[in-house]
Amino acid sequence: MFTKEDYRSYFDGIAVTERSMIYQAKDIIVSLKDPVIINSLNGVMEDEIRHYSLVMSIINRLLPESEVEKRIFIRRHSLGTARLKLRDGREFSAYCIDISERGICIEHNNVLPEDESFEIWVDFFDGSGPIHRDSGLIKWSVEIGQVSQITSINYRSGLERMP
């Protein structure tokens, strides 16, 4: 018999796969010039985003009461490309997973030091961005596979929409 934790682990794995498929489709789309293929891949990406949304709704139902969203600022699952610049000048590419008025969660293939200051730019796949934050702090990172990490970042003040 499967436990809620077993189901949660299973759907977490599907969420990682769905995000990866979305990221890959987006990366391919930006490199193409043929509008017919771009349109087809946009349809594939929209389907994967829909799948991801369904998986996230299942995960949210499986969360124990202690993990239910208790933040003052509710996070919104918003996928997009991100560029992170640390204060020492190093830059990293990443993907946005979710965002709130006070923070952002990104997925990337780097090791980012906790308590490091940053500047970040995000361009959302749904066209609601882009945003830019020039002041914040990396709070934590966890491995989610052999090469990926998820990192939580807190802003020192609210979001700024880019013109």
* Residues 117 and 51 placed together within one structural domain of the fold: no
* Residues 54 and 86 placed together within one structural domain of the fold: no
Q: Which of 67, 97, 114 is the last residue of a domain?
A: 67
Calculated CA dihedral for residues 130, 133, 139, 145, nearest 10 degrees: 30
Task: Tell me, yes or no, if the pTM score tops 0.95.
Answer: no
* Residues 63 and 81 placed together within one structural domain of the fold: no
- pLDDT tens by residue, the chain, 163 residues: 788 888 888 998 999 899 999 999 999 999 999 999 999 999 999 999 999 999 988 888 887 655 555 556 677 888 999 998 988 888 989 999 988 888 888 898 887 878 888 889 999 988 887 989 888 888 888 887 666 777 787 865 444 443 3
* Residues 136 and 111 placed together within one structural domain of the fold: yes
Expressed in angstroms, the distance from the first to the final Cα of the chain is 53
Q: Which long-range contacts (CB under 8 A, 24 or more apart) does 97-100 make?
A: 97/19, 97/150, 99/75, 99/131, 99/159, 100/71, 100/73, 100/74, 100/75, 100/76
* Residues 52 and 101 placed together within one structural domain of the fold: no
* Residues 60 and 87 placed together within one structural domain of the fold: no
> Which CATH number fits the domain that encloses residue 119?
2.40.10.220
| pLDDT at position 67 | 57
* Residues 157 and 83 placed together within one structural domain of the fold: yes
| pLDDT at position 159 | 41
Overall number of domains in the chain: 2
* Residues 83 and 153 placed together within one structural domain of the fold: yes
* Residues 151 and 111 placed together within one structural domain of the fold: yes
* Residues 101 and 136 placed together within one structural domain of the fold: yes
Q: Which of 49, 67, 85 is the last residue of a domain?
A: 67
Identify the domain containing residue 39 by its residue range: 4-67
* Residues 63 and 80 placed together within one structural domain of the fold: no
* Residues 59 and 82 placed together within one structural domain of the fold: no
